Structure formats: C-alpha cells, structure tokens
Amino acid sequence: MNITKLIICCGLLSLFALQPVEAKRKKVVQKPVYMIGVGISLVDSMVFITDMQLVDSVTIEKKTKFLMDRQLYSFQLQHYLEAAYKSGPYVPCVFYSPKRKKMERQYLSLHKRYVQNKDLRMVLVDISQFRFKAADYVEVDE
C-alpha cells in the first residue's frame, strides 16, 4: 500500500516537473513623472541636487508604482557628475513621483537637510546643465 502511494506521488511530481515554467510578465504603464537627482561625492564632501524635472514616457509598474530601470536614471546623473566635475566617485540617487506637490515637498526636505549640514557643501544643478532622459524599458524574462 505504501509503495503504491509512493509510486503515484513520484509520478505526479515528475509530471509537474515537466510542465514549462513561465516568468510572470509585469504589467507596466508609461506616464510622466517628476524627478529629482542627488549625487554625493565621496572625495570632497559635496552634494549635488538637480532641479525638479518632468520626464515624459517613464515606465512604471502598474501594481507597485515602482520606476522600472531606476538604475539607468541614476547612471545618467552619475555620468554627468563625473564628466562635469571630475572629482568622483559619486553616489547617485533618484527620487520620483507622478505628483508635483509630493516632489516639491521632497525637494524642500532634501534642500533643508543638506543646507543645515555644515560638513557638506551643496551644489544645485540647473536644468540647463543636466536633464534626465526617459530610458527605453526592455522586459527581460527571469
């Protein structure tokens, strides 16, 4: 009796193992968002803050509202800072939201935090100097 159950269980498990496994595709939407970039120099205690920018056609995951390929926007800021200021390395960070008011509050909060810190020197990066570009989203199966 036990051997029969064991054979049936092994047979069922082997059938499940042969089923093709597909990665779940993420549901994404393209929409405009507001972005702020912050780059911190590890060498000379400088903090760079970009102007708040509206970036069109950014890919957002529908369910979680997460910015897809977020690291590409960080790399854009990092490459700009390394080319313009040449005193890297820089640690970039990108903040985003589809709501303008939320980004304005975030910008003021960051600005206040770094102005109050006497150990850091803050540099504002004007929109005429640096602008985020919408990255093309390519979905990769896992």
Identify the three-state secondary structure at position 82.
Answer: helix
Distance from C-alpha of 127 to C-alpha of 36, rounded to nearest angstrom: 11
In tens, the pLDDT along 12-47 reads 555 555 555 544 566 888 999 999 999 998 888 899
- How many CB atoms neighbour CB 34 within 10 A? 21
Q: What is the mean pLDDT of each run of 10 residues along the chain (142 residues)?
A: 60 54 69 95 90 92 89 93 86 94 96 90 94 78 52
